[in-house]
Structure 1
């Protein structure tokens, strides 16, 4: 195992990437731009999301909107690589506005949109340029305005995700109005998309308002007033988008189905338990260790594993809405509004991970995104998608949690140049296999070749977890999806 590791590290391509990584780190230090402290910049992570979308686009007959977003992601990948080459030379590109590289990358997306998807020239040019502009905005914001919060790879991955989400929202509204192929034909997904995108836009406006709020207006009464206006805005948009029965339809969607009612009660109980644990621990003032934080991994895993296997539609709606709530809570924590912000800050100080060295509580948000991202990325047209939908649950909810507990308690043999143990890595794979076996025993999961596919994907994710210095919660679910995709030949 050790010999194999060192052979891989001496590979010429790997050596070039490591030298490039080191040079980029030096350039960032000279420019006084501080990324999250880590042994590497995670340059490879910028290819994860586009690779997954391209793979699904080629093996399944996905929707026209999915194809469109895949084409846009090609341009984002090209622009990310261009940025890495720029960073290798200098970091001055972060101080500039849009450059010629933006138009070159946009062209790589515009060509297949125009020729393959047969969209108008305006759409083929406008959407990729918009996506690259949004990506550039978030990348500069992450690296320059949020010091020590992201590595370069994490910043690129997050910026790609935000860009694709916003472009999806715009394309769904604009193209869905003029092209029947881009309109949502599934009534349930239409309801879910309407509510999630509306709440997402509302939270975006709330974050902008809180960020620009004057110091004397940072009071609890003003916060209540702003949130009340936001709720009114949400109701107006929903009324215009979905009709006068927008609220009754939402209530009936949840409480008009017995399975969803039971899921709702189960999730509510887990949320209340989580709040109780946070309040008790915060009052004691004891710093949480790694094993303690993994309790929330297990609670979140119970939510997602029950939702994905019993009602994936309800899980998608809940995941989208709660993600918006998490963003809003983080914005309120940073807005310094008494007495809410100090309590949230104190709870963050108690539970923060050592990787939360920057301005924001990214590890908790990454955990949620990692568990939920397969719901967005895996297309509905995929055959037997259960394992891929469970990628986040298996990789970080079960595998990473098991590896952390077992490695800390019983691990003795450490991986070269790291603090992860080989025993923890082995238990990571074993835990994922046992989880799949138990789900099969209780007739909750039955997918072709699921044990072989899980063994391959679990091994890949466990090895990446053992070696990567990037945030596990963000990259492991995507790596696991890619690993499951590689097994589709079975």
Structure 2
């Protein structure tokens, strides 16, 4: 009797799961039809990636619940819950009509803002006015920026990718504003304070340059104007460093980078890799030979070596270098789109050679996603016992696993997944390569953590299956999926 009841429950569960899947697929198809009827062009993909909206809030919330994190981290985690709430309501709205994209309709913003405000008020003991104001600003900004991103940058993002990108922008902006405006009681040592000051100065300088390039008239788009913009931005950076770091800011920066032998070795190693990559790009651009997927993945390996070495040997220097690299990528992409001769045509030629088939929109998002995917654990993972493995989430999932799957699958991928072009052999090698990488680090005593192999095996399997099944950009999705899987398996350590 008991076995019959269990069999009946299993049948009911399968039917329920199938019905839920059908409903979700139906909603996705309806959104696609609404976007087409409204002449809204998202990045070509078989689905809209609606599930992606849960990834970043889930990572932040799980860390906030599991560990002793800073007040600022908790604040951002609670704000992300409000952004997730609005994302789910946005999906409901757009499944009915695409009018929410074309009109200033803020339906759901108030309810979503109140969700975050309630969390801030109860768990962080923030004042009622502060909680409501802070949450409403975040959610209303998210609503407006999400609509602008989808409408103004056709074929650049799917709905899910746009949600992740805009969530990241809003949360980063709120973090910077809070850090410089309010005292959260978070204590930082002198080195960390110095690094953050340099990072904020660097990124704000890049922001000024990009804004100036966007505002240029067609008659101003020449090299002399670019030189003037860079000079003004450089003066701003020096002034900000003087204000935030001190009058000896340049000397302190030079001392930090070059008066420590280990930092110098690491810095020279990264510089050698950067020079080699630049040299290869220049040669292939001159030849004008379109790069294959395997060729592009070789840059995944180089970038992963940089991040792996930095995370293993000097996390703080890696954080500073990652911010510099991110700013450089934003600046380079802005120059490519600025139509300033002779710089912009040269960058466009390199893009034409190395562009991915997913880069059909306004910007080169795939390399940007690669860099952000490798670097995001440095921002998202709080310091706790055994956190070094989680810092490698991007390196393992896209630097090692995704690259290995692409290479092995292209050569030996004879058996394809039923509903895609990815191969079973590629997925298997994806999982194996991640486990082998962590085993090698453990064998050479570079990563000594309890149950790291078991955790990596579980996490790699999950990320490998997602990589095989998803049509969203791997570089953006897989690091977040890997972080969630590592959080779930953290009970083993």
Q: Normalising by structure 2, what TM-score?
A: 0.95
Is the contact between residue 288 and residue 353 of structure 2 (CA under 8 Å) also seen in structure 1? yes
Q: Secondary structure at the match of 1:11?
A: helix
- Choose the corresponding residue for 1:148, options 155, 158, 180: 155
The aligned counterpart of 1:291 is 294
The aligned counterpart of 2:142 is 135
Shift of 1:96: 2.5
The aligned counterpart of 1:432 is 434
- Choose the corresponding residue for 1:409, options 408, 411, 418: 411
Where do residues 174-189 of structure 1 align in structure 2 (5 Å cutoff)?
Answer: 174-176=181-183, 179=184, 181-182=185-186, 184-189=187-192
Cα distance per residue 1:388-447 (max 9 Å; x no partner)? 100000000000000000000001110011000000000001111111111122221111
Is the contact between residue 378 and residue 388 of structure 1 (CA under 8 Å) also seen in structure 2? yes
Q: Secondary structure at the match of 2:336?
A: helix
Cα distance per residue 1:434-473 (max 9 Å; x no partner)? 1111112222111110000000000000000000000000
Shift of 1:63: 0.5
Shift of 1:8: 9.8
Is the contact between residue 106 and residue 140 of structure 2 (CA under 8 Å) also seen in structure 1? no
Cα distance per residue 1:193-225 (max 9 Å; x no partner)? 111122212222221211111000000110011
Shift of 1:100: 4.0
- Choose the corresponding residue for 2:236, options 233, 236, 247: 233
Work out whether 1:343 is the aligned partner of 2:346: yes
Shift of 1:9: 11
- Choose the corresponding residue for 1:488, options 447, 467, 490: 490
- Partners of 1:133 and 1:285 lie apart in 2 by 45
- Partners of 1:279 and 1:136 lie apart in 2 by 41
- Choose the corresponding residue for 1:450, options 449, 452, 459: 452
Shift of 1:475: 0.3
The aligned counterpart of 1:223 is 226
- Choose the corresponding residue for 1:473, options 471, 475, 479: 475
Q: Secondary structure at the match of 2:352?
A: helix
Q: Secondary structure at the match of 2:182?
A: helix
- Choose the corresponding residue for 2:401, options 391, 399, 402: 399
Work out whether 1:105 is the aligned partner of 2:112: yes
Shift of 1:10: 6.2
Shift of 1:347: 0.5
Work out whether 1:46 is the aligned partner of 2:53: yes
What is the root-mean-square deviation of aligned Cα atoms in Å? 1.3
Cα distance per residue 1:18-45 (max 9 Å; x no partner)? 1100000000000100000001110000
Work out whether 1:27 is the aligned partner of 2:34: yes
Q: Normalising by structure 1, what TM-score?
A: 0.96
Work out whether 1:352 is the aligned partner of 2:355: yes
Is the contact between residue 411 and residue 424 of structure 1 (CA under 8 Å) also seen in structure 2? yes
Q: Per the alignment, do residues 185 and 10 of structure 1 end up closer, same or farther by CA in structure 2, a change over 3 Å counting? A: closer
Shift of 1:256: 2.4
- Partners of 1:375 and 1:488 lie apart in 2 by 18
- Partners of 1:16 and 1:244 lie apart in 2 by 62
The aligned counterpart of 1:96 is 103
- Partners of 1:125 and 1:333 lie apart in 2 by 41
Q: Secondary structure at the match of 1:488?
A: helix
Work out whether 1:165 is the aligned partner of 2:172: yes
Is the contact between residue 82 and residue 115 of structure 2 (CA under 8 Å) also seen in structure 1? yes
Cα distance per residue 1:266-299 (max 9 Å; x no partner)? 0000000010000000000000000000110000
Shift of 1:486: 0.7
The aligned counterpart of 1:388 is 390
Q: Secondary structure at the match of 2:114?
A: helix
List runs of 5+ in structure 1 lacking aligned partners: 1-6
Cα distance per residue 1:33-71 (max 9 Å; x no partner)? 000000111000000000011100111011101011011
- Partners of 1:130 and 1:274 lie apart in 2 by 42
Q: Per the alignment, do residues 108 and 468 of structure 1 end up closer, same or farther by CA in structure 2, a change over 3 Å counting? A: same
Moved over 6 A (4+): 7-10
Is the contact between residue 408 and residue 429 of structure 2 (CA under 8 Å) also seen in structure 1? yes
Cα distance per residue 1:78-108 (max 9 Å; x no partner)? 0111111111111111122252421211111
- Partners of 1:89 and 1:9 lie apart in 2 by 24
The aligned counterpart of 2:329 is 326
Shift of 1:373: 0.2
Give the aligned length: 479
The aligned counterpart of 2:271 is 268
List runs of 5+ in structure 2 lacking aligned partners: 1-13
